[in-house]
Structure 1
């Protein structure tokens, strides 16, 4: 029987405590510092740092008809109309509006490991909103697995350029910068570290919303207090993805 990853990690954690607290020489410090369990392939990768494999950042661009593509959009804003969604306050409706974009089905195993980022060019009609981005591994059967998330309040969009790198933006969150309604801004959202291998026939789907759906494949498992506070006002969002506004995901593809 194959052991579960969380059992293996708990065992290693206890052995680490035995070594440092009880002084038991059990060899745990001779083992690789990082063990990564890759979703999708169920492989295990070890190394001295994370990510455990060489990676390169590649962009997947938001395109018309809710598509994600390695090729950027060629049409300008006059012809590539933005995607949009409206969110009413949850005191008015508990329906969460979601807009999504998906890749074509992968033809070969495609592995990603590390942090990521989303660069979204958006216009809103209020001084603030939430951006909640979730990436899914969508199987041909329709079943899907959440692989990572990213959260950003629009008024906290300011970046620390010295600490920001490709695929790993850094928001200092030390002041509020209100949004000017009706103006297109670039919002850079950090995606939490993840590791996933998309198998042939699977697709990567990115979902964007202002609030978190109360019940889906992932959130139905969470306690009621696990959700982010919604914005208490109606907000209309326009997501531009044309040649002048290259909205995109920047993701860590492994190279071996």
Structure 2
């Protein structure tokens, strides 16, 4: 029996970024008996994940003691879904069929399923100036949000953020965080994406919709003042946005020093700051369609896109009557 054919039990929690990726990649290449459990978002479970011990013991009982407890007859993949707090099982990841849909960055810090129709001269870019963290504690954050969802809306899988940006330096960081924002103001981090601007090159053969692949084989300095498209990969996640909740995306070039998410992290878990002042312009007009490409498992109601979609639907109804 080869290593790939040996029985393997994998357990990881959402929100751990590249370690979630690693678990899924390993699960996909294993040829023998295998299990993948993706748990809830931190706060971290107690070590060594005592909450998962019952399932782990059943796995070891079967393979080490020969106890026929039914563990190998159960679905190979188990995923905790944030928001609905359901556990979904399947034979593969993602555990449901998905359809990639675009949420477009729009003026007035809106996210919409409808693309922007105005050109750059009317839909001027959003901007931020980030001073080095050696001289300030403030991290500048740009933010865009959907209208509140009126029906439960589920997403599972990886995603991508296509950002058309102009900077005045040869490099910067793009740090993106996607949140589930509740009506009362509470929020849950859903997933993250990171990209160093000089590592923007994509492997076109390995890149698919909603799942970009960066080879990271060389650094290519940015030409200051030039608008470039940067594609960030969003780490695997599973979440349901409940009625009244909004999907919010935040973009910065350094990580906030302390907030509801980063307070959970150890000191060595942060990305290195840029170290130089950088001005960012994020274009999101008809010629520069900055957008999120996300894996929906449910049909998203048009009204979740906001008034633009509602007006388009009304126009379609009138035109067809």
Match of 1:181 in 2: 224
- Check conservation: 2:164, 2:227, Cα contact below 8 A: yes
Counterparts of residues 39-188 of structure 1 (less than 5 Å): 39-188=82-231
CA distance in 1, matches of 2:298, 2:211: 18
Match of 1:214 in 2: 257
**2:287 counterpart of 1:247:** no
- Bigger Cα displacement from structure 2, 199-208 vs 4-13: 4-13
Following TM superposition, by how much is the alpha carbon of 1:12 offset from its aligned partner in structure 2, in angstroms? Answer: 2.2
State the structure with bigger RCO (CA 8 A, min sep 6), 1 or 2: 1
CA distance in 2, matches of 1:132, 1:240: 16
CA distance in 2, matches of 1:196, 1:107: 16
Structure number with higher helix proportion:
2
- TM-score, length basis structure 1: 0.94
Aligned CA-pair RMSD? 1.6
Paired residue secondary structure (2:54): helix
- TM-score, length basis structure 2: 0.76
> Are residues 54 and 93 of structure 1, via their aligned partners in 2, closer, same or farther at CA, if it must alter by over 3 Å?
same
- Bigger Cα displacement from structure 2, 17-26 vs 217-226: 17-26
Deviation per CA, 1:210-243, whole angstroms, max 9, x where unpaired?
A: 0111111111121111111111111000000000
Paired residue secondary structure (1:41): coil
- Check conservation: 1:54, 1:255, Cα contact below 8 A: no
- Give the total of aligned pairs: 253
Paired residue secondary structure (2:256): coil
CA distance in 2, matches of 1:126, 1:117: 24
Larger radius of gyration: 2
Counterparts of residues 4-23 of structure 1 (less than 5 Å): 9-21=52-64, 23=66
CA distance in 2, matches of 1:153, 1:210: 9
Following TM superposition, by how much is the alpha carbon of 1:15 offset from its aligned partner in structure 2, in angstroms? Answer: 3.1
- Check conservation: 2:155, 2:298, Cα contact below 8 A: no
Unaligned 5+ segments in structure 2 are 1-38, 300-321
Q: Which runs of 4+ in 1 moved over 6 A?
A: none
CA distance in 2, matches of 1:176, 1:236: 20
Following TM superposition, by how much is the alpha carbon of 1:22 offset from its aligned partner in structure 2, in angstroms? Answer: 5.2
Deviation per CA, 1:117-136, whole angstroms, max 9, x where unpaired?
A: 00000000000000000000
CA distance in 1, matches of 2:276, 2:159: 29
> Are residues 242 and 31 of structure 1, via their aligned partners in 2, closer, same or farther at CA, if it must alter by over 3 Å?
same
CA distance in 2, matches of 1:15, 1:178: 52
CA distance in 2, matches of 1:228, 1:190: 16
- Check conservation: 1:119, 1:189, Cα contact below 8 A: yes
